[in-house]
Chains A and B, each alone.
Chain A
């Protein structure tokens, strides 16, 4: 066994996996990764099940050191500068840390959460089938709380498998899609239109429980108290002050404010990755469209293993481009996106 030591880490970073659904009737929030696609992509790169536990890294920097042997990891999600001893490390790729080496990550650029998957997963004691941290309920393993510097994971020694990259479809740009309801009839047409037409920003006071939205005040038709009922990931509730809150992975299982709309499954991760202060809009779609998108999203996650490529196939292009003096950055021949080049042989 090797160890992966958290050498430094910012707030809002924790172990997350697919969560623990099934006990919401007892008030137990499922929790789990804010961006499920990114977690699944990272896991896929190191041969794990898509929703195995990985490290969800909040917007600030972090560093991880391999001890007692090599550790193979993969990064996905919000891009950030990443290097091992000065060698740049690519996102959406696997990389092996030699014993004693440190992977250093900068602040998230254009997003909120990055995911570090570890080959073989994280050792811990699952509760209700999950290692996911739910700090309020004191759940999560190996640490039932956000990560702190000095924490460490017992992990498999690196297999020595050749490194991979994964070809993900370009993120969809544009508004976050919602279906109206369940309590859209608690708002008049003008306020529903205001919600759908306005520009919103996520407040810096947001967290894994909820994203507070800054924009115009949305007024209720009959007041803001309803009898508590069940919530889902992406429920957008409107409390008394009219500032909507999108409920995220650590939401309470029930809530007593009217919910004007619900973010569709396929766009939940995009909302989760919208950083504080970034302007965005919502767009109403039909149930048929939302369910069609949910099925496509599930299919995308199932297709991840087919999207793996040998890291070498890029290296050839990188060499050509480096010869052309594009120092440190490469333009992918495949999707014309730009990423940082690993100098790993």
Chain B
């Protein structure tokens, strides 16, 4: 017995994009609906839609108002969003190596202290997690993962760092993430992965897709150095396993 799905809110994002919002909060069911609508939209190939961007709780749909107007597009989006969710397809799963702590995870000890436990215990909890790529955003390859264990939820840093290393694995709020390029971050840095989720002249350029499953496993810093060189030369490093 399929319950009727509540309709999403259609929020105008200017004259050439609309945000299809399923929830105001981070919510796995809403994220499933976002990804389902993204797929349905791609299959429907509606004239005038130029690009869609899935996020945790909404799908941003870019379109050309010269080819389709807001009202006509809204009707089509609502119709697609009301379709029952397709049976869940087997997602890809990536096993991602992480060198935790030390110079690669400068916040690991502080996180352990704040949570009244040891760095090893934090690592054990983090690698035990079964995560899903909820969205990719901010900078190329920055993969926001849902599924962080409750005991690791922590407010973001009061003072964001202006520069954090490429490959940083961090936690912030109720999320964990894989940051590909060096850049600013207000999250707590637990470690680094040699895996590039984005690498320009590699095939594929982008490793992760929204909806992919992710698990982490710990490697030592020597292995990190070796794998980092291999990754720089274009190897994927990440293992794809059956979900």
Contact = CB atoms under 8 A, between A and B. Distances in A.
B137 A230 contact: yes
Nearest to B144: A228
Centre residue among A21, A235, A262 by max chain B CB count within 10 A: A262
A159 interface: no
B136 A252 contact: no
A15 B62 CA distance: 25
Interface string B164-183: 00000000000000001101
A264 B54 contact: no
A279 interface: no
A230 B14 contact: no
A25 B12 contact: no
A207 to B, nearest CB: 14
Interface stretch (A60-68, A176-184, A307-315): A176-184
A137 interface: yes
B53 A24 contact: yes
Contacts of B206: 23, 26
For chain A, what secondary structure do more than half of its interface residues adopt (helix, strand, loop), or is it mixed?
mixed
Contacts of A138: 181, 200
B10 to A, nearest CB: 9
Contacts of A226: 24
A183 B11 contact: yes
B12 A287 contact: yes
Centre residue among A24, A182, A252, A298 by max chain B CB count within 10 A: A182
A136 B206 CA distance: 17
Contacts of A231: 13, 60
B19 interface: yes
Interface of B: 11-17, 19, 21, 24-26, 50-60, 62, 65-66, 69-70, 135-142, 144, 180-181, 183, 198, 200, 205-206, 210
13 contacts: A21-B62, A22-B50, A24-B62, A26-B141, A27-B140, A179-B14, A181-B11, A182-B19, A232-B16, A291-B15, A293-B15, A295-B65, A298-B66
Given A232-B16, A254-B138, A265-B15, 11 more contacts: A25-B53, A137-B181, A227-B56, A228-B55, A229-B19, A229-B60, A230-B19, A232-B13, A253-B53, A264-B14, A294-B66
